[in-house]
Each structure stands twice: as structure tokens, then as C-alpha cells.
Chain A
Amino acid sequence: MAEIQIKNIAKSFGAFQALNDINLTIADQEFMVLLGASGCGKSTLLRIIAGLEVASSGEVWIGGKRIDHLSPKDRGIAMVFQNYAVFPHLTVFENIGFGLRMKKLPNDEVTRRVERVAGLMHIEMLLKRYSGELSGGQRQRVAVARALAMEPDVILMDEPLSNLDALLRMEMRAELKGVLAESKTTAIYVTHDQVEAMSMADRISVMHQGDIVQAASPIEVYRDPAAKFVASFIGNPPMNFLPAKPAGPSKWQVAGQTFDGPNTDKAVLQFAIRPEDMQPAEQGLVATAKIVEPLGAHLLVTCQIGDALFRVILDSDAVVKPGQSLTLAPQPDRVRWFDPDTTLAVA
């Protein structure tokens, strides 16, 4: 059992506050992704869990044991680094077996484990090579195999796929997900790539300026963003926003149209809808098409409603020309509302 509990972790570098009071519980065998733009503190949090960085305050517990005072090797963790950190002077075999040798495991046990994980990562034919003779993707496999060979309670990954080309990244993403699910290890995975996060995670923690803004399942983060930041960070293109004014109890006026909305006494709200959740209709928001981008699978149209830019994803058969007027009907159950003062979602 390796449940991870992060309690009130804060970290500052001089005057810069990298993490503010982070609280997060990661269940045993859960695949948790820390997602955020660079500088949001996600790597710092991972490095604090790994023991490579010391928190300014707070506690880290793994499997019911407080570990933040222990050295990295005593925490029951293994890590995959962004630049792989595959030792160049050791063969692939010795790289994978490095941690096992440090634990002074007997030779045949080292061989058994190295061969098992090398098979898992499909690198058994590379065991005698040096890292200078490997491609980036192969080095990445070695780095993952080295972590798996430790049979750790927790595996930490710091943007492990970011140095690979797009095609390889997609392939490794699926493979890594499978291997980790099979290993029954708790995993924390840091990335700035939302597609990676969505496709791999059991849960995503979206981080922004040293805070966790939302920690939820990928579909929840996508459908029900807890804050405007999440709505505009996740999704490509992100959510659309329009200002809304009250028009009676639970009624809001958006660009001349009235919608059912939350029952609050706020003077202004923001209406939000994902680009794919709108259909051309008889009645709805009136928009002027500005830019039309056929993307094969669908048609991306950037239009204008009032002063605001607004993106819609239409069926690829739709015929839209720049300058054309569109009437768009939002799918009612997909409309979300945000408070512009707190930036938080309003139900």
C-alpha cells in the first residue's frame, strides 16, 4: 500500500514563492498527473516528494510513513528524469541494474530483474550497449526500466516524454500507461502537455502559480473546470467566454440571448462553453465568422460575438465563409458559469 499524502507543503526560493500550502492525497496505485505551465511549481513538488529538494514547510507521507526527512533512497521511490540521466559510462544492463547493485542484491537477482524489465520495455537486445549508441526513445526506455527494476512503491516521472518527437511520444504514452498499470505502482507524472495528462491520468492536478487549482479525473477537469484558469488551460482550443448580465431569477443575458443560469445575486458572470458544444441552429448566439480552418476531422471557425473572439468546432461538411453570419446554439447541459471576481466556477 503506497498512498501518498502531501500536507501543507510550501516552498520558497528566496523571495519567490514556488509552492503555497499544497495538500493532496494520491491513492494507492493511482496514476496522478501534475499538469501546468512552466514555472507553476509542478516539478518542484515532484522533487520535494523525491527528496531532491527540501520543502520550506509541510509533510510528505508515503504508505502511512512520514518520509520528508529521509534521504531519497530510503523513500521507496524511483524516478524517471526529463533528460533521462542514463549513465553514459555504464552499459544498458548496468544502468538498469544500478539501483539494485547499490542495494547489494545478489548477482542472479539483479540479472533476473534487469532481464524482466528490459523485456517489458522491449530493450532486451540493447543490454550490452552504451547510451551513446542509443536513440532518444531507447534511452527513455532505459530510464523507465531502471525505475521499474527497483520495484518501488512510488514511481515519479518528470516530463519523461518531452524530449521525444511527436510520433514517438504518442507511442510511448500508451505503452507507459500499460506498463505502469501492470506494475501496480503509484505514479506521479509531471507534464505541461494536456493531451498526455488527459490520456494517461487517473486524476489530474492542475497547478497554477504554486497552487493546485483542481484535482479531478480528466473528464471532470475537462467538463467541469473548477476555475477559469483550468477552462482556458485545458482543451485545444480552450473554452469560450462571454460576459453575462442578470435577466431575472436564474436567468442570464448573453450577447442578446437569455439562458438559464445559476441563482446568485452577482451583478455579472461569465458564460463559458467549449467550441465543440455548439451547433448551427435557428435560434442562438449570433456570430460573424472571421477565420475558417479546415482541420480534416472537423472545421475550426473563429468568429466574433460583440467584442469577444469565439471559437466553434463544426462538422467538416459545414460550409462557412469568412464574413458569414452564424447562429450558434450552445448545448444547454454543457454551459458553465464563472465568477469574474474569484475566477471560480459557479453552479
Chain B
Amino acid sequence: MNARILPYVLILPVTLFLCLFFIYPFVLVSQQAFQAADGGWSMENFQEVVEYWKFPISMKNTLLLAAIVVPVQLALALLMATMVSKMKKGRDMVLYIWTIPLGISDLAAGIIWLAIFEQSGFLNSMLHGIGVVDKPVNFLTYQNPWIVFLAIALAEIWRATAIMLVILVAGIGLIPKEYYEAADVFGASKWKQFTRITFPLLRPSLQTALVLRVILAFEIFAVVAALGGTLFPVLMGQTYSYQFDLLNSGAAAAMALIILGISIGFTLIILRILRVPKGASI
């Protein structure tokens, strides 16, 4: 076959698959979101979801979670990736252990942390055992919103740092050793080597890791449902309740598009901040 056409033929099945199962439903959802009760085009659905009293709260909660969780994950993943990359023996073993949480679904992760924080959970047993509390405390209530927030943040950090770690370990592996030797000879301390060499050369991997993580952070749902229930409304939880509790698929579609819009916005910001100038890649 013609070598110029062959590549396009080869990517055709995937393209068709994505068109059929992604673009088509996306068009349908968009239609639903912009459709009024009488069938015409309108912003009714958007107006409805935005004006609902829970919308600002769930928006604030989602953004706050992302703002706390993602930077902590980034710092942890960078630290862990740097440590793993310096290891000579047992590196794969450590990586496997560190990535175990990746294999657990987000709902299961939420339930694991619920088992720690709930009234009859491990944390209470431990505190009781060492005599800090006389009787089990209910941490996850509306009286302790910050503990609920903390529990969700911890569960998210525990669950999803590994995805960034894996991407960053691969990225660090691509940086040639000579750069560090040159940096050593030309007087850069270890910290300067990290800020002046590792970090800038890691930009492509950081882009991927951050885009993935930020999108997932805006889609947070199951962990919140398990630990916070209705105490901690988030955008995705609202979408779910429009669709399945209120059976208002128009409003659910509008919510979904709002989340998509936010994700695209942040993706563009991340790509812009971490862009690599032409000719400046490894």
C-alpha cells in the first residue's frame, strides 16, 4: 500500500471508535444541555444549575480540594520520583509498592479511609487504646467540616499520587546523566540541580502528570461520596444527583459541560505555563 496513506489507514479504526463512542455522545450531551423544555435552544439548564444554592458550595469545595490536593501530590510525587531514580537496587520493587493504590478503585479507596475515620474505625480504636479519648468520637460529621475535608484530601493523596509518580519517574529517566555531571563541575548544588536542571527538563512530563491529575481532581466523586456523603457537595456529586435523584438529565448535561469547561481551561493554563520553547527539548 502507498506509504503515504498507510499511516492514516492504520489510525482509522481508533479514530472511528472515538468518533462513535466519544464525539457522538458528547454532541448528544451538548444538545441536551442547551435544550429548553419546549425543545428550542436556550441557556435554561445552565441558569438552573448555577442558581441552585448548592452550586457555589460544590464549586468552592471542588476547587479547594484540587488546590490543596494537587500541589501536595506534585511535591510528593517529585520527591518520591527523585528518590526512586537515585536507587540502584530494588528500584522496581519500591515502585510496585508505591503504585499499589493505583490498582484500587476510587470508591474502594474511599471505603478504606472510611474504615479508618468512622466512629468504630481504626483511628478511634487507636486513640482509645493509647488513652487519648474515653469514648469513640464521630469525626465525619457536619460539626467537623475540616476533618471531613482532611479525610477526603488524605484519601485522594494516598490514592492518586502514584499516577503522577509513574509519569515523573519515566520523565526523570529521560534526562541524561551528563547534565548532572556538568552541573556538578560547574558548581550547582544538589538543590540548584533540581531547580535548574531536573525541573525544567521535566516540563513535558509535568504537563502530562498535572493535566491528568487536575482533570481527575475536578471529576472527584466516589471518595467524597464515601467519606463526606452529602456533607461535602462537589460538582460531580451534583451532576450525579441531577441525573439519578432528580431525573433532570438536561441539568446533569449542563453540569457535565461546566466541569468540562473548567478542565479545558486549566489544561490550557498548565500547557501554557509549562511550555517548552522550540529547540529547547532534550
Residues of A within 8 A of B (CB): 50-52, 71-73, 77-79, 81, 83, 85, 87-90, 98-99, 102-103, 129-133, 146, 150
Contacts and interface: CB of A to CB of B under 8 A. Distances in A.
Residue from the set A52, A83, A87, A99 with the largest chain B CB neighbour count within 10 Å? A87
A105 to B, nearest CB: 11
Contacts of A79: 181-182, 185
Contact of B279 (A52, A87, A131): A131
A72 B279 contact: no
A102 B187 contact: yes
For chain B, the bracket of interface size reads: 20 to 34
Given A52-B181, A81-B181, A89-B276, A73 B281 contact: no
B197 A85 contact: no
A89 B200 contact: yes
B235 interface: no
B188 interface: yes
Given A79-B182, A88-B280, 19 more contacts: A52-B184, A73-B184, A73-B187, A78-B186, A79-B185, A85-B179, A85-B181, A87-B182, A89-B197, A89-B276, A89-B280, A98-B182, A99-B185, A130-B279, A130-B280, A131-B279, A132-B279, A133-B278, A146-B186
Contacts of B185: 50-52, 72-73, 77-79, 99
A277 B176 CA distance: 48
A128 to B, nearest CB: 11
A32 B172 CA distance: 36
B14 interface: no
B277 interface: yes
Contact of A88 (B181, B187, B281): B281
B282 interface: yes
A262 B244 CA distance: 105
Contacts of A50: 185
A150 B187 CA distance: 10
Interface string B178-219: 110111111110001000010011010000000000000000
A98 B180 CA distance: 13
A85 B278 CA distance: 18
B178 A88 contact: no
Contacts of A78: 185-186
Contacts of A146: 186
A152 B7 CA distance: 53
B178 A130 contact: no
A59 B152 CA distance: 58
Contacts of A77: 185
Contacts of A83: 176, 178
B186 A99 contact: yes
Contacts of A103: 187
Nearest to B199: A89
Given A52-B185, A89-B200, A81 B280 contact: no
A51 B184 contact: yes
A73 B176 CA distance: 20
Contacts of B281: 88-89, 132
Nearest to A47: B181
Residue from the set B178, B192, B201 with the largest chain A CB neighbour count within 10 Å? B178
B197 A87 contact: yes
A81 B187 contact: no
Contacts of A87: 179, 182, 197
